[in-house]
Amino acid sequence: MKLLLVLLAILFGIWLWHSGRNASNRSKHPDPKASPPGAPTKQAQEMLACKLCGLHVPQAEALIGPKGAYCCAEHQRRAEV
């Protein structure tokens, strides 16, 4: 029983040491995908539902026609014929 406790204590110590090293490495080498400090964040966009299929697309990507918003040119063409 004492041997098991000693082994668990050693494994726990190794785990703490390893996680501490990973944390210090992350601070020295920041994630290249992360945005730099002070960079503008992306704003949320309104989602519009396609009048033909009901798929929700961001307002910037939606095709707006006289009868509503569409997810693609094909749906806009079929709905407005």
Walk along the chain (81 residues) and give the pLDDT tens digit of each residue: 899 999 999 999 999 998 887 766 666 666 666 666 666 667 888 999 999 999 999 999 999 999 999 999 999 999 988
In a domain, 52, yes or no: yes
Q: Which domain holds residue 71?
A: 45-81
Quote the number of domains for the chain. 2
Pair 50, 28 in one domain: no
68 vs 55: CA distance, rounded Å: 13
Pair 53, 75 in one domain: yes
Q: How far lies 46's CA from each of 49, 57, 68, in Å?
A: 10, 8, 15
33 Ramachandran zone, left/alpha/beta (phi>0; psi -120 to 50): alpha
Q: Residue 49, SS3?
A: strand
pLDDT of residue 57: 96
Pair 2, 24 in one domain: yes
pLDDT of residue 80: 82
pLDDT of residue 71: 95
